[in-house]
Amino acid sequence: MSLLRLTTRFTPPTNFFLSKSSFRNTLATRRAFSSTALLFGVSGMKYSAIEKPGNLDPLLYNCSPFINQGLSLNLCRKITTALSPLNAPQDPKVVQNLTSKSKKYVPSKEVTKNITIYSENAKSYEIDSKTLKLKNVPKDRPLTIIMAWLLAKPKQLKNYIDIYINLGFDVITIATSPWQLLWPTKGTQMIARDAVQFLENNPSYTQLLVHGFSVGAYQFSELMVIMSQNMERYKPVLDRFQCQIWDSAADITEIPIGVPKAIFPKNMRLQTALRNYTLYHMKTFHNQATIHYMRGSQMFHSTLVKAPALFFVSENDLVGPTKSNIEVVKNWEPAGVKVTFKSWEKSGHVAHLIHHREEYITMLYKHLEENMLQQLSIKARAKL
C-alpha cells in the first residue's frame, strides 16, 4: 500500500496552551507534531504511513490536523480515540445512547469481533473459529442479518433484535467501526469476508433477511462484491435471501456528513473538524479508500439480492436522504426488485422506530407477512 507521507511544522493557535499534566516532555511533543501526517487511526499498525517516534502517546501523535483547526488537546483526543481501531477503548461521552424498552434477555455469542449471533438457543451453539460454522442450530430456522450503523451499541440494536427473536428468527449483527470504514481493505472488506464465510458455511439457515442501517448499506455492498467474483459458488447463498429492509441507507456522498454525526452527535465544532478530515481522507487516499466506496455504491445500486425491499427514510435526514434512496429504487425496480418505500417528513437518522414506532412495526410485519409467510413458523405467523 502506497500512502502519502506529509511533514508539517506545527504552529499553535492563540488559544492553545501546554499544560504540565498533559506534556512532560515539551521537546518530544514538538518533534511529534513536526512529523505528524494528516492521518490517524493507523499508528502502531503494520501498514502505517509514517514511523511513530518512540514512547509517545499514539492519540497525541495523531492530533495535528485538529489542533491546527484551533481545537484543544482534550477535543483532539476525543476525535482520535473515536477513530481508533475497533478494539481500542471508546469515549462513552461521544456515543449516542438510546434506551431499550424491552428488558427481555436474549442469549448471544461472539462469532468474530464484528459479528455476534443472538438466539434463544445461543448457549448451545458451538462455533468453529476457522470456518465460522455453527453446530446444534435447529434446521430451517430463518436468520436476520442486521447491518448496524456506526458505533451502534447492543442495547441500541435490542429493539430490532427482539422483533425477530419473538418471531422465531436467529439474528446476527455486523458492526463496523469508523476506523474500519476509513480503511476498507483492512476493515470493511475483512468483515465482509467473515460474513460471507458465515453465510456460506451455515446452510441450515435456509431463509435469510437483511435489515440494514445507514453505513450498513455500504458494508453489505462489500459482501455482494465478494459474491460477485464467484457467482457459481455464491448463487445458493444469494437465493436464500427472502426479504430486505433498509433504514436510513447512506451512500458514498454522505460519508463526510454521516461519520462526524455518528461520532459527535451533539458537538458541531467536532463535527466540522472531522468532516474536513474525512473530505481530505477521501481525496488523498483515493486508491486506498474512495475507490472502494465507489465500487460499493455501484454494487448497491445494481444489487445481487433481488428479494422484495422495504425502505424507511425521512425528508429531514441529511445522512440517509430521501433523494439518494429514491435513486436506488429507480435502479432496483427495473431489475425486478419489488420495493415498498416509506418517507416521513420529520424523523431521525436510524431513529424511525423511535419516532414512528407503531407505523414502523406495522409496515415491517406486513412486509414479512407478504414475503416470508410460507417460511415462518406457525408461532411466528400467529404473532403477525
DSSP letters spanning 28-92: HHHHHHHT--S--S-TTSTT-SSPPPTT--HHHHT-HHHHTTT--HHHHHHHHHHTS-TTSPP-G
In angstroms, rounded to a whole number, what is the distance separating the alpha carbons of residues 173 and 216? 10
The yes-or-no verdict on residue 265 having pLDDT over 80 is yes
Instruction: Using the structure block, give the residue that is written with the C-alpha cell 410460507.
Output: 374
Give the burial class of 309: count Cβ atoms within 10 A of its Cβ; 0-12 exposed, 13-18 middle, 19 or more buried: buried
Local structure of residue 252 (DSSP, 8 states): G
- With beta carbons less than 8 A apart as the criterion, state whether 180 and 191 touch: yes
Element (H, E) at 383: helix 378-383
Query: Would you state the pLDDT for residue 1?
Result: 43
Lowest mean pLDDT among 3-7, 257-261, 334-338, 371-375: 3-7
Show the cell assigned to 347: 424523523
Of the two residues 322 and 31, the one the predictor is more confident about is: 322
Name the H helices within 83-229. Answer: 154-166, 178-182, 188-201, 216-228
Q: What is the pLDDT of residue 382?
A: 57
Helix (H, G, I), strand (E, B) or coil at 176: coil
**pLDDT tens for each residue of 72-92:** 555 555 455 555 554 444 443
Cα→Cα distances 282→70, 184, 292, Å:
22, 12, 10
Q: Which residues sit opposite 144 in a β-bridge?
A: 171, 209
Q: Which residues pair with 109 in a beta bridge?
A: 117
Q: What is the pLDDT of residues 230-241, one digit of tens each?
A: 999 999 999 999
Indicate if the pLDDT at residue 220 is higher than 70: yes
Instruction: Please give the Cα distance from 253 to 109 (Å, whole number).
Output: 35
Q: What is the dihedral of CA 320, 322, 325, 329, to 10 degrees?
A: 160
pTM: 0.74
Which cell numbers in the block locate residue 354? 423511535
* Phi, psi (rounded to 5 degrees) for 366: -65, -40
Grid coordinates given for 106: 436474549
pLDDT in tens, 117-162: 999 999 999 999 999 999 999 888 899 999 999 999 999 999 999 9
- Give the integer Cα–Cα distance in Å for 296 and 361: 29
All structural domains of the chain:
1-82 (no CATH), 108-383 (3.40.50.1820)
CA distance 214 to 251: 8
pLDDT of residue 181: 94
Q: Which three cell numbers stand for residue 285?
A: 487516499
Burial of 125 (0-12, 13-18, 19+ CB in 10 A): middle
Residue 191's Cβ-count burial label (10 Å; 0-12, 13-18, 19+) is: buried
pLDDT for residue 190: 97
Q: How far is CA 55 from CA 8, 26, 32, 61, in A?
A: 20, 13, 11, 10
Helix (H, G, I), strand (E, B) or coil at 208: strand
Q: Which residue has the higher pLDDT, 343 or 11?
A: 343
- Furthest CA-CA distance within the chain: 71
Handedness of CA 63, 66, 71, 74 (dihedral sign): negative
Contact (CB, 8 A) for 377 and 347: no
Cα(357)–Cα(20) distance, integer angstroms = 51
Residue 252 identity? I
User: Using CA atoms, how far apart are residues 189 and 214, in angstroms rounded to an integer?
Assistant: 17
User: pLDDT above 70 covers what percent of the chain?
Assistant: 70
